[in-house]
């Protein structure tokens, strides 16, 4: 499965990046292709390409603030959670993503 995500927290210093790391690790561990963009104090990094978004089966948004460029995901399945959820239960979140994708098919 192909997953893209965006992480963004209130201050943009810590949770954003921890969520990115945890999600990417959990996704890869479960055998998926995953790429998570971060929107923090430093700006947007690991920006998702149009191709990555087009190919993605699902979008995981782990954010405590309004993210930039949400319109890029229009028409796609989106799971939206807080960064806390991504940090606390990354594996469960990936499982949930798989469930949602399977429901769709």
Least Å distance between CB 38 and another protein? 7
Nearest CA among 36, 45, 31, 26 for reference residue 89 = 26
Q: Is 19 in the site for another protein (CB under 8 A)?
A: yes
Q: Which residue among the candidates 8, 9, 58, 86 is catalytic per the annotation? A: 9
Structure tokens belonging to residue 42: 């430093």
Is-catalytic flag, 9? yes
Given candidates 54, 55, 68, 84, which one binds another protein under the rule CB under 8 A? Answer: 84
Given candidates 5, 6, 16, 94, which one binds another protein under the rule CB under 8 A? Answer: 16
Nearest CA among 99, 103, 83 for reference residue 23 = 83
Structure tokens belonging to residue 85: 């959820």
């Amino acid at each position: 499965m192909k997953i893209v995500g965006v992480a963004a927290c209130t201050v943009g210093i810590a949770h954003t990046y921890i969520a990115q790391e945890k999600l990417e690790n959990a996704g890869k561990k479960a055998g998926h292709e995953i790429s998570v963009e971060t929107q923090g104090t430093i700006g947007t990094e690991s920006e998702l390409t149009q191709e990555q978004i087009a190919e993605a089966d699902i979008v995981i948004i782990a954010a405590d603030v309004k993210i930039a460029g949400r319109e890029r995901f229009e028409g796609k399945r989106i799971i939206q959670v807080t960064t806390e959820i991504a940090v606390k239960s990354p594996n469960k979140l990936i499982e949930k993503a798989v469930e949602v994708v399977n429901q769709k098919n």
